[in-house]
Chain A
Amino acid sequence: MRSVLSVREVGVKVRDIIDRLFINIPSGVGSRRKDLKLGRRDLEKVLAKGAQWAVEQGYGTENDTRFIEDNGRMSFADPENVSEKAYERGKDQLGTLGSGNHFVEVGRIEEIYDEEAAEAFGLFRDQVTVMVHTGSRGLGYQVCDDYIRQMMKASEKYGIALPDRQLCCAPFGSPEGQRYFSAMAAAANYAFANRQMITHWVRETFEQVFRTGAGRLGLSLVYDVCHNIAKLERHVVKGRQSQLCVHRKGATRSFAPGNAEVPEGYRKVGQPVLIPGDMGRASYVLCGTGRAMKETFGSTCHGAGRVMSRGEALRRTKGRSVQKELEESNVYVRAASRGTLGEEMPEAYKDVSKVVQVVHAAGISRLVAKIVPLGAIKG
């Protein structure tokens, strides 16, 4: 999200914003909302309609959905193919951040690399931005778990030779393949709705701190993009248009200028690509390219990528205060657990700057802006 605020206007209020975000958006392992418990019927609607359900409930505006991949709704989702256990896990986790690498980060644009694209995305130097990273929570996890078990059987049924059982799969057009695809899309819709609600609470938080309407603060969605998804897309393969099932796992879409899937206002420059880094260093905004369409089915990287396991990071941060260390570098962090902060310490990740340099140099997305963190809430 962008704002019309510059870092000077926000100043010391960053602490207040982070403290209030921490109150307004439940976070942590198994975090849930006491104020919002959804019935089975409501949840079915969430799974069918995604962010559009959230907008109908008063979270954000119709305009937001124009800036979400697939307009925040995957149309082939089938809530009936989601298990009872997944529903159970999902009923009180909608509108929560969760734990692990999920966060809401308030940042400042430190550098602009591409003026034209930055202008199209509404970004400027020293601007205050908010980045939200979360997904489909326990519901999505359960969908994956359920279908891995089914796919183990399906792989045998269809005689698919697997070099590793974890690659279990089914023909895309088979009943098993289609059931997973529709359940995955339902979970994706849950994630879209989840972030849309958080977008709304980010706006409310800023309203509380600045005592003025979110509209006047210009808090609008730059873009919302998936990072763990399979999509049915048309791409050119060996000179022929083909219908493909593109799997992006910890990777994001990076569609080129002119593509009809890119929001109209951005179509001249390409789809915005958001690359979160670790808590201490930086995040980046890039844009999609024609080369990505040719080489990577319109895909690029998603983030920094871990270099250290969670366990190792925990051992290395024993007796240290990651929160204090970050504060010394002027990043104010609130976290639901000390453990998460240890696991998520900056050194546990690759340097995101090196990662984006590669995709930029390889031409599968183009650098637009660099964002440095001011503060964050973590699970």
Chain B
Amino acid sequence: MEEGLKISLKKIDENRYVVEKHGAMRVDGVVYINEDLLRDLGKDESIRQVENVACLPGIVGASMAMPDIHWGYGFPIGGVAAFGAEEGIISPGGVGYDIN
């Protein structure tokens, strides 16, 4: 992983990392991953995508990703994001091309 990205990821425990809210992020990013799988991410930009999703209106909790995270269209694959039904958004990129 790129150095810059690595620095923004902070370890919560063995299986969880956080990207603390900064800039336009409305909530934290939380990635369920361990050190070993983090190495596999290499130059993948998907952690940046977790940050981007955290900027969207109405997001609640955290912008999350699972250990199988990898780059996807807009939102990372392996991503979970919940938005308030009243103040939040819906995005086709958050679902992906292979619907269901």
Interface residues of A (CB under 8 A from B): 100, 135-136, 140-141, 143-145, 147-148, 151, 160-164, 166-173, 177, 180-181, 184, 187-188, 190-192, 226-230, 232-233, 235, 237, 242-251, 296-297, 299-307, 350, 354-355, 357-359, 361-362, 364
Contact = CB atoms under 8 A, between A and B. Distances in A.
B73 to A, nearest CB: 5
Contact of B82 (A135, A184, A297, A357): A297
5 contacts: A136-B98, A161-B55, A237-B61, A249-B96, A303-B68
Interface residues of B, number: 56
Contacts of A160: 56-57, 89
B30 to A, nearest CB: 8
A364 B80 CA distance: 13
Nearest to B78: A250
A136 B66 contact: no
A249 B90 contact: no
Contact of A171 (B36, B51, B88, B92): B88
A241 to B, nearest CB: 12
Nearest to A228: B96
Nearest to A160: B57
Contacts of A164: 49, 52, 74
A86 B96 CA distance: 15
Interface of B: 14-16, 24, 32-34, 36-37, 40, 42, 49, 51-53, 55-58, 60-61, 64, 66-70, 72-100
Nearest to A140: B99
Interface SS of chain A: helix, strand, loop or mixed?
A: mixed
Contacts, number: 233
B64 A299 contact: yes
Nearest to B37: A354
Nearest to B93: A166
Contacts of B55: 161-163
Q: Which of B51, B66, B79, B94 has the most CB of A within 10 A?
A: B66
Which 3 A/B pairs are nearest by Cβ-Cβ distance?
A305-B68, A166-B74, A191-B100
Contacts of A251: 66, 78-80
Given A249-B72, A249-B79, A250-B77, 10 more contacts: A140-B98, A170-B90, A171-B87, A187-B99, A188-B99, A227-B100, A233-B82, A247-B79, A250-B78, A296-B80
A354 B36 contact: yes
Contacts of A187: 99-100
Given A237-B61, A247-B82, A167 B91 contact: yes
A250 B92 contact: no
B24 A247 contact: no
